[in-house]
């Protein structure tokens, strides 16, 4: 495993574990998954993973409970990251919600506490006042944000009066927005971009095609899995396979290695089984050659999916079968 080259109280692994899947029916993994989830966590620990990401909203608290129980006594050794879902993130609310998350996780302190998304009405001034108080009493280690643009990230830092260590954003070969300004900022200021959906929710695994789309509500609502977009992704997947073959690796591992080239980026793929977790952890060791990276960049740029409003009628048709 490799770790972020930053001064943090505990090392942060370049591959973390995302746990939205834990206790969340919308992924469609069924009742047996809970036990597998615990095995995934234990295996991740064996492999040197130190970043475990959850949120109060995942499975309405179940993800935090499953993660905390699976980590057991190892909770104190790793970076446990959770998120407040900011419906009304006033300072006292932030404090109450952190206490509740810590209780579900079974931890004395949340190593990284993140604001799940920017609230359009409530300013970060009050939210960060709550975060600062939590840091001052030791219930929260580092503060993070998620789905923030650069301006608001920096504003949050000014409001906190301390570093907001990380911004967790959608970042993968098919969502490269963070490369514009968030990653350069993280690099220059000593912050971290946490890449969520780093495999495009499995799109980049090459496992799915127009005749074989994934099941589950999450991905039925994701336009990338429209038959048309799976078709449009064929070339990109072919390039991933080609680079993967040269490394005796899989397309998913190469898709992760692409992100991890940036020193201040960590990825938190979710996993449906232990073997995926093992492969994802191993991806941290893959070094892409410059020409391989260039080929991946070209293939990623050439992928033009149907998204936004244009995709909505097709998504509705895919859902209703009409
Ligand atoms: N902050 C936010 O707003 C936000 C939003 C979304 C997610 N997140 C966080 O980010 C984490 C990851 O994002 P995500 O779950 O949306 O997407 P993801 O990590 O890109 O995709 C996860 C899915 O990809 C497949 N997969 C994983 N490893 C694989 C491998 N080695 N080979 C082949 N397939 C593999 C699995 O699905 P199948 O095996 O079923 O194909 C798995 O459930 C979440 O768990 C959550 O913690 C945060």
pLDDT of residue 321: 63
Indicate if ligand 1 lies below 6 Å from the C-beta of 101.
no
- Phi, psi at 194, each rounded to 5°: -95, 115
- What is d(CA 300, CA 175) in angstroms, rounded to the nearest whole number? 9
pLDDT of residue 308: 83
The CA 270 to ligand 1 mean position distance, Å, reads: 4
CA dihedral 306, 310, 311, 315 (to 10 degrees): -160
pLDDT in tens, 214-266: 999 999 999 999 999 999 999 999 999 999 999 999 999 999 999 999 999 99
Indicate if ligand 1 lies below 6 Å from the C-beta of 202.
yes
Confidence of residue 309 (pLDDT cuts 50, 70, 90): confident
- Phi, psi at 224, each rounded to 5°: -60, -25
- What is d(CA 8, CA 81) in angstroms, rounded to the nearest whole number? 14
The CA 43 to ligand 1 mean position distance, Å, reads: 17
Indicate if ligand 1 lies below 6 Å from the C-beta of 264.
no
Q: Which atom of ligand 1 is nearest to the CA of 283?
A: 31
Confidence of residue 310 (pLDDT cuts 50, 70, 90): confident
The more confident residue out of 102 and 320 is 102
Q: What is the DSSP letter of 172?
A: B
pLDDT > 90 fraction of the chain, expressed in percent and rounded: 93
**Of how many residues is the chain composed?**
322
Confidence of residue 26 (pLDDT cuts 50, 70, 90): very high
Which pair of tokens denotes residue 9? 């109280």
The average pLDDT across 13-33 equals 95
pLDDT of residue 318: 74
Q: What is the mean pLDDT of the chain?
A: 96
pLDDT in tens, 112-122: 999 999 999 99
Indicate if ligand 1 lies below 6 Å from the C-beta of 239.
no
Indicate if ligand 1 lies below 6 Å from the C-beta of 178.
no
pLDDT in tens, 256-294: 999 999 999 999 999 999 999 999 999 999 999 999 999
Residue 246, Cβ neighbours under 10 Å: how many? Answer: 11
Residue 318, Cβ neighbours under 10 Å: how many? Answer: 18
Stated as kind and residue range, the H or E segment containing 193 is strand 192-196
- What is d(CA 277, CA 14) in angstroms, rounded to the nearest whole number? 13
Q: Which atom of ligand 1 is nearest to the CA of 280?
A: 31
The average pLDDT across 13-28 equals 96
Mutate to test the pocket of ligand 1, among 146, 265, 270, 275 (most ligand atoms within 8 A of CB): 270
Known catalytic residue: 33? no
Residue 322 has pLDDT above 60, yes or no: no
The average pLDDT across 96-120 equals 98
Stated as kind and residue range, the H or E segment containing 72 is none
Indicate if ligand 1 lies below 6 Å from the C-beta of 270.
yes
Mutate to test the pocket of ligand 1, among 19, 247, 271 (most ligand atoms within 8 A of CB): 271
Q: Which atom of ligand 1 is nearest to the CA of 208?
A: 41
Q: What is the DSSP letter of 56?
A: T
Residues 6+ apart with CB under 8 A from 288: 243, 254, 257, 258, 261, 296
Nearest CA to ligand 1 atom 11: 18
Place of tokens 């969520």: 196
Indicate if ligand 1 lies below 6 Å from the C-beta of 205.
yes
The answer to whether the beta carbons of residues 88 and 303 sit under 8 Å apart is no
Indicate if ligand 1 lies below 6 Å from the C-beta of 18.
yes
Determine the 3-state secondary structure of 110 from DSSP: strand
pLDDT in tens, 133-155: 999 999 999 999 999 999 999 99
């Amino acid at each position: 495993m490799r770790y972020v080259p930053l001064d943090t109280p505990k090392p942060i692994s370049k591959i973390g574990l995302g746990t939205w899947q834990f206790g969340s029916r919308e992924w469609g993994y069924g009742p047996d998954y809970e036990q597998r989830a615990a095995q995934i966590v234990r295996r991740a620990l064996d492999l040197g993973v130190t970043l475990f990401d959850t949120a109060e909203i995942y499975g309405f608290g179940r993800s935090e409970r499953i993660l905390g129980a699976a980590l057991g006594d190892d909770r104190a050794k790793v970076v446990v990251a959770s998120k407040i879902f900011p419906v009304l993130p006033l300072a006292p609310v932030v404090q109450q919600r952190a206490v509740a998350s810590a209780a579900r996780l079974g931890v004395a302190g949340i190593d990284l506490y993140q604001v799940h998304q920017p609230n359009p009405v409530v300013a970060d001034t009050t939210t960060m006042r709550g975060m600062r108080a939590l840091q001052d009493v030791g219930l929260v280690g580092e503060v993070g944000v998620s789905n923030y643009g650069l301006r608001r990230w920096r504003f949050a830092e000014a409001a906190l009066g301390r570093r907001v260590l990380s911004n967790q954003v959608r970042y993968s070969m098919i969502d490269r927005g963070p490369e514009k300004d968030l990653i350069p900022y993280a690099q220059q200021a000593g912050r971290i971009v946490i890449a969520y959906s780093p495999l495009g929710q499995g799109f980049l695994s090459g496992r799915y095609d127009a005749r074989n789309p994934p099941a589950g509500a999450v991905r039925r609502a994701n336009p990338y899995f429209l038959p048309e977009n799976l078709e449009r992704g064929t070339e990109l997947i072919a390039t991933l396979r080609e680079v993967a073959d040269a490394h005796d690796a899989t397309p998913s591992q190469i898709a992760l290695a692409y992100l991890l080239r940036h020193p201040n980026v960590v990825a938190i793929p979710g996993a449906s089984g232990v073997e995926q977790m093992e492969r994802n952890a191993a991806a941290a060791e893959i070094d892409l050659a410059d020409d391989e990276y260039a080929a991946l960049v070209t293939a990623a740029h050439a992928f033009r999916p149907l998204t936004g409003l244009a995709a909505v009628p097709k998504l509705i048709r895919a859902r209703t079968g009409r």
